[in-house]
Chain A
């Protein structure tokens, strides 16, 4: 018997984007207020999981054709590249740098290389949690 889940699907369409935006917000805010790559990653995952619950794994795979194993590998690479970039500038491993830039649209903003590292963390968390959930979900 096919159940009618139109309410779930409709709500999901709205809620997913709210969650995603909250995730992005909490990721970028991490350096000054609670949040960061880890929480951001987990929230993003929860958004995708919500999609999966509402539309099924196969549909989500079609709209988000991401290989999550590769995603976590990319995240790890970004993290380690950020950490080792400092060697090029003849400073110890894992030395971060930051400065203030006048960006269009944002005005004066501080940019920190720790953000790049956090991107790595974010990608790994999304990649790994999604790998786990997808693998278990597809298991017969």
Chain B
């Protein structure tokens, strides 16, 4: 079966969901949905043996061949691992949602359509080999997650969270598109495999660092890295199955996938290593620190997700550092890539189960507030067991999967101190220290999550519902995941051989050519080395701090709310909204005068600027006609009347002066030998002066104050500027005349070709009659316009009175 088709299978299935919901409403729609991810999971599992041997599958569907855009499904170790996570956890989440969402009260058809849409988008992201289709699926994940977060759209917080995640992830997505386009320009292809093949040439390109930073922006926003993590805690307003699926196991890992996928291209750059490792570690420490401030169960899990994503991100950065090490196979640098993928699997498994437990607690007690919860251990023993397994794995305790990956994480971070490129030898010591602090806080919040919920005193009076154990169907998925946590610990090397090593070989193709070459063997006991003592320290300090948590947790409240990134986001949104509004109101005054000022000033600035920049001004006095006495006299009259218009006190004077201007212009036409123009000008001037007088006669009495036009310096300057500019343009244009006039042709052919004597009229009706045709059309339109203005006064109140 075509792999591309499989990507689209969920979204095609989504078309039938509303039908099933309508026609077979008695059965929970989720049961039908469940079949699809389960079937896909089984199919992808059958690919495992060949991929584990280092093989790959590829399938292509042309989309826009002329632009070289296609859907290419490429499955190697990395994309297969993600596909299995998406379909596997997808199936479990659907199963969980069947019991979580009530079929009578919830709009299930919406929910499952969005969810299937998201599944297609995620499969597309991890399998696409083409950058543009990868981007398409990437934005589809943003959109479908927007819809899922806002699923309970009648709640304010849901809409806010949905919008926030949309703003941030789409911002990153657009940046990423920029990076993709740059990559496409650099490499001349949009295929990721072909780009990886020419990675060494790309590194020297001018755009390289730009592409790197833009793509990292996309990955960091999606994977909720510092400072873009702020959308994730707000996305917790989504239904819990959504949080479990999107915000722990799949979507937030899209950014990690992106970083892993592009590591072969960008690892050569030290910027990449620094940024990915540094931001990742900082995110880890920062989020694990703030996780303890949270009072909401899902809030704690949101921050822990951010923290764990940071951890994986830093490991991916460290695996890119391996590129810079010679003879890497013998060193501990090989652990970083392996640890990243291994922890990614672990995290998806235990965080999924933890979210589901949080959902169960919410469902069965009616609250997620950790201050109201407590003592649920005996009431909900199965949930407690699952939560404990998940949390201990998150904390990195044996005998759970998280222990193994946390050990390898510490190994990788300690190894970085040995690194002697780009100042790692001086600053490198910070990496294990920060990692250690982050791990301590991880330990504390894991315990905080479990024991403040399940241990302590039961407070039934504060709970909206009477707490009891969840139905078995709801416990199935988290229980299954919890068992997986244990299984991963028991058989880490099987998981390593089948899932992790093929993925590592895909991330680090410059070191390994096939998965078998990855020389990592997960052991439970590394000997009493640095990492071992670091782990012991984490347990000891973590336990002590957890013991005294109640005493120092209050100090979190001392932190001012005004300094948070959320506040920054809110202010940014407010500023861009209100600021843009205020800015528009600043120049959109509503006064025609202001707009004229803008227009005229820009004309002056642009024209004079062009003159100066191009050194275009020229003046040529040679080709001028002699000036006669008549011209001078008429010019004086013209100037006089113009000045009269400007300085006259009464409007009547101005109108008459305007008439004088018109008639002098007609006189100019006479002495410049344009009889047709003179005739027309005389008649038209008469008519327009008459119309002006008409308008003057009907001016309202109140505002008819006869006063001189007020002098404004700005207006005078702009008017002067426009006048001077246009004069300069006219002079320069006259001096620079390059081609002879076309009028010779008219002169020669007016009688022979057109059979006429009056050139002007022949031009008007024959040579260029087209213009005349539309000019009389303009006249006609003006006439109709005046009729409608005068006869159709529908809006006037007097008209209404007349109708009565």
Contact = CB atoms under 8 A, between A and B. Distances in A.
* Chain B interface extent, by class: 35 or more
B683 interface: yes
B161 to A, nearest CB: 62
A83 B769 contact: yes
B787 A69 contact: yes
B637 interface: no
Contact of B786 (A32, A73, A136): A136
B758 A36 contact: yes
Interface stretch (B7-15, B97-105, B772-780): B772-780
Contacts of B679: 26, 34-35, 39
A31 B687 contact: no
Nearest to A37: B765
Contact residues of A: prevailing secondary structure: helix
A136 B694 contact: yes
B227 interface: no
Contact of A125 (B761, B776, B787, B790): B776
Given A112-B755, A114-B766, A135-B790, A35 B761 contact: yes
A36 B764 contact: yes
A31 B758 contact: yes
Contacts of B787: 69, 131, 135
B711 interface: no
B737 interface: no
A30 B761 contact: yes
Given A69-B783, A73-B780, A38 B755 contact: no
A139 interface: yes
Interface string A111-125: 010100110110011
Contacts of B764: 36, 38
A121 B765 CA distance: 9
Contacts of B754: 96, 98, 114
A19 B380 CA distance: 110
B755 A36 contact: no
A42 B549 CA distance: 98
B609 interface: no
B777 A76 contact: yes
A33 interface: yes
Contacts of B779: 72, 124-125, 128
Interface string A61-98: 00000001100110110011001000000000010101
Contact of B758 (A35, A75, A127): A35
Contact of B790 (A43, A110, A127, A136): A136
Contacts of A30: 758, 761
B757 interface: yes
B675 interface: yes
A127 B757 CA distance: 28
Contacts of B782: 128, 132
A31 B757 contact: yes
A137 B676 CA distance: 29
B680 interface: yes
Given A112-B756, A128-B782, A120 B762 contact: no
A114 B687 CA distance: 27
Among B684, B687, B779, B784, chain A packs the most CB atoms within 10 A around the CB of B779
Nearest to B764: A36
Q: Is the interface of B mostly helix, strand, loop or mixed?
A: helix
A76 B784 CA distance: 13
Given A31-B758, A114-B766, A121-B776, A36 B676 contact: yes
B676 A39 contact: yes
A125 B780 CA distance: 8
B791 interface: yes
Contacts of A26: 679
Contacts of A118: 761, 765
A32 B756 contact: yes
A114 B762 contact: yes
A46 interface: yes
B677 to A, nearest CB: 9
B776 to A, nearest CB: 4
A79 B757 contact: no
A36 B761 contact: yes
Contacts of B762: 31, 114
A36 B765 contact: yes
Most buried by A among B675, B694, B776, B783: B776
B786 to A, nearest CB: 5
B770 interface: yes
B783 A128 contact: yes
A16 interface: no
Given A37-B765, A136-B694, A46 B683 contact: yes
A12 interface: no
B666 to A, nearest CB: 13
A33 B758 contact: yes
A13 to B, nearest CB: 22
Nearest to B776: A124
A30 B755 CA distance: 12
A83 B774 CA distance: 12
A25 B256 CA distance: 89
Interface string B670-682: 0000011001100
Contact of A127 (B756, B772, B783): B783
B776 A110 contact: no
Contacts of B780: 72-73, 76, 124, 127-128
A94 B763 CA distance: 12
B687 A129 contact: yes
Contacts of B691: 136
A80 B769 CA distance: 10
Which of A31, A117, A136 neighbours the largest number of chain B CB atoms within 10 Å of its CB? A31
A109 to B, nearest CB: 11
Contacts of A128: 779-780, 782-783
A32 B756 CA distance: 6
Given A114-B766, A131-B787, A31 B761 contact: yes
B773 A83 contact: yes
A132 B691 CA distance: 10
A32 B760 CA distance: 10
Contacts of A80: 773
Contacts of B680: 38-39, 42
Contacts of B675: 34
Contacts of A46: 683
Contact of B776 (A68, A79, A136): A79
Nearest to B798: A140
A4 to B, nearest CB: 25
Given A69-B783, A120-B776, 20 more contacts: A32-B756, A33-B758, A34-B761, A36-B764, A39-B680, A42-B687, A68-B783, A80-B773, A94-B773, A96-B765, A96-B766, A114-B766, A121-B776, A124-B776, A128-B780, A131-B787, A135-B786, A135-B787, A136-B790, A139-B790
The 8 tightest CB contacts between A and B, nearest first, are: A32-B757, A34-B675, A128-B783, A98-B755, A124-B776, A36-B761, A131-B783, A31-B756
5 contacts: A36-B760, A43-B683, A68-B783, A76-B780, A117-B765
